[in-house]
Amino acid sequence: MGFFDHDSEEARHHDQVTNRPHEAKWSHELIGGAAAYEAMKAYEDHEARNGKVDNHAKAKEIIAGFAGAFIDREVETKGLDFVDREKAKHHAKERLEEGMGRSGRW
């Protein structure tokens, strides 16, 4: 994988959120990290189907959409509130920007 390896913190968060039964409290860091991983997987699939996105702003928009969709789905299924959702989206954005920066693509 390009931005996050399968043994990265984001990959572990993704596994914990998607493959474990509902727990009473999911942290926004956990969901944000899982969303970052899921968004990058979806973005790389998007690039494989449609070609590389040359516009940095457009790429960030696509990735943010993938992360937001994942977070919204998890918030709805896990019964979290608005504050947790917004914190998770903020955390995902930070993790994605770090990952994109480390990748050397932007």
Q: Where are the domains of the chain?
A: 9-18+25-103
Which tens digits make up the pLDDT trace of 44-88? 999 999 998 888 888 888 999 999 999 998 888 877 788 888 888
Helix (H) or strand (E) holding 51: none
Which tens digits make up the pLDDT trace of 11-35? 887 877 777 655 545 577 788 888 9
pLDDT of residue 2: 55
Q: How far apart are CA 14 and CA 11, in angstroms?
A: 5
Confidence (pTM): 0.70
| Cα torsion 29, 34, 38, 40: sign | positive
- Asked if residues 32 and 88 have their Cβ atoms less than 8 Å apart, the reply is yes
